[in-house]
A and B are shown apart, each in its own frame.
Chain A
């Protein structure tokens, strides 16, 4: 059933009784061509693009809980393509292009709202660094605008421009950046994939990965053994745990990142704003709550819950750039488990076990990458070679010295 305004109108007349579930709840078959472990944003978009763009048949997605119960349901919903390095930027720009056409593509309202993103800067060297980044963005076709203080004042007069320590001198702005209704992305991809014949199997944790003679033959799950020619892992925070089942050790640490929402306010923020001197980013949801976040807590964690010092640190960042945030009440906060890689960049690659593919290490930037991650992973799974924008996301890049370290922090996952 295609959704349209007309459908909504007629359903309204008949008491909205004609809506059907958006996806089936099938039992797993014995064998699939491609088995995707992890029914989050990346897993579902991989399944969707495999079926739609690469005409693969017999695909299943296995999910431990319910689909979209992981990081796609607990992020700060920001999309942007404002990276510097050539290993990253074309990939995120592909993602942005897919976002822009996503709702028409999968016929689902994901509330994509390109209100723009402003990265504030506070001094001259930072302006130079952002100019360089802006140039890199323009080379990739993403577009970038440098705003001076006056222009920032016009769109966001409430910021603390004359702060003694971090006066705001301007911003690097990507007008195509913005926010998306995050859950709708998972639901839209799930519905789209299901309509193309993908089996989405929920409440089905993978207990073991079956490997024979360095070849992956299937997985053991709570619903029995399922055979597959290719197995694709996209399980974010649980990457190390799942890959450990196949005896692989990853360059990844799992950390907890917290996010926050205030009570609903009238529209105050023009778009996404990030602090240049600390780590703080804020946007306003369509319901009116200010959605914001900052640094990860900084120690290994699988708890999906953080601690108070980080809450204080993030709120201090907020107070430093927009003191008015102190007048709103914090409604709720939550934590998600990030697969922090050693250089802050992701992996979309084959493993040394034949038929086992890995997509992970997204750190806390996985949401904006959802469409391109799925597209590039589907490309790799279907054609056996990486997509041209994901050539550098290799698992062996540390051995080759080809790290993609945007921040230049080295092998310190808690600093990325």
Chain B
């Protein structure tokens, strides 16, 4: 019985390592089920959209926005992606995860990331 319980614990630990738990920077380890996947973190780098009612977008600007909106790197391996803690504190996270193993190596808050980017 004790042995079975220990085995079970190892199994859960391995399972958690692989994916199920996201170690939230503020709230600690949370079930991934509380979060919503919001796509590649590249989406944070939105190109500037200068055209307005009087100035039409140039071809290059349209192209740039198309690439931003529709094309993805879609790597097999390490992937930086956005997760939204919908059933928690509603924070946005950048999670570095391996798409081949589902293992999460880094979790950071988007607001911290953007702060660094601005300064």
* Residue from A241, A249, A298, A302 having most chain B Cβ neighbours under 10 A: A302
How many angstroms between the C-alpha atoms of A398 and B67 in the bound complex?
10
The secondary structure that dominates the B interface is: mixed
**Docked complex Cα distance between A252 and B76 (Å):** 13
* Closest B residue to A299 using CB positions: B37
Q: Are B69 and A240 in contact (CB under 8 A)?
A: no
Q: How far is the CA of A414 from the CA of B43 in the complex (A)?
A: 15
- CB-based contact B71/A250 at 8 Å: yes
B28-44 residues at the A interface, CB under 8 angstroms: 32-33, 36-37, 39-40
Known: A254-B99, A298-B37, A302-B99. A307 touches B32 (CB 8 A): yes
CB distance from A191 to the nearest CB of B (A): 32
With A298-B37, A299-B81, A308-B20 already in contact, the answer to whether A342 and B70 are too (CB < 8 A) is yes
A167 adjacent to chain B (CB < 8 Å):
no
B interface footprint on A210-244 (CB within 8 Å = 1, 0 otherwise): 00000000000000000000000000001011000
Q: Name the CB-closest residue of B to A249.
A: B71
CB of B102 within 8 Å of the partner chain? yes
B66 at the A interface (CB under 8 A): yes
Please, which residue of chain A has its CB at the minimum distance from the CB of B19?
A307
Which residues of B sit under 8 angstroms from A413, Cβ to Cβ? 39
| A399 close to B81 (CB less than 8 A) | no
Tell whether, in the assembled complex, residue A252 and residue B32 are in contact, meaning their CB atoms are under 8 Å apart: no
Q: Which of B37, B39, B71, B74 is packed against the most chain A CB atoms within 10 Å? A: B74
How big is the A interface, by class?
A: 20 to 34
Inter-chain contacts of A288 with B (CB < 8 A)? none
Q: A299-B81, A301-B99 are in contact. Are A250 and B37 (CB under 8 A)?
A: no
Range class of the B interface residue count: 20 to 34
Task: Decide yes or no whether B73 CB sits under 8 A from chain A.
Answer: yes
Q: How far is the CA of A413 from the CA of B69 in the complex (A)?
A: 12
A18 interface residue (CB < 8 Å to B): no
Q: Which residues 13-69 of B sit at the A interface, judged by CB distance below 8 A? A: 19-20, 32-33, 36-37, 39-40, 62-63, 66-67, 69
**Interface presence of A155 (CB below 8 A):** no
Closest-by-CB residue of B relative to A248 is B71
Q: Which residues of A contact B73 (CB under 8 A)?
A: 240, 249
Q: List 29 A-B contacts (CB under 8 A).
A: A240-B73, A249-B71, A249-B72, A251-B70, A251-B71, A252-B74, A253-B39, A254-B74, A254-B76, A254-B99, A298-B36, A298-B37, A299-B37, A299-B81, A299-B97, A300-B40, A300-B81, A302-B76, A302-B100, A303-B99, A303-B101, A305-B102, A307-B102, A308-B20, A309-B33, A342-B70, A398-B66, A412-B39, A414-B39
Enumerate chain A interface residues (CB-CB to B < 8 A).
238, 240-241, 249-254, 298-303, 305, 307-309, 342, 398-399, 411-414
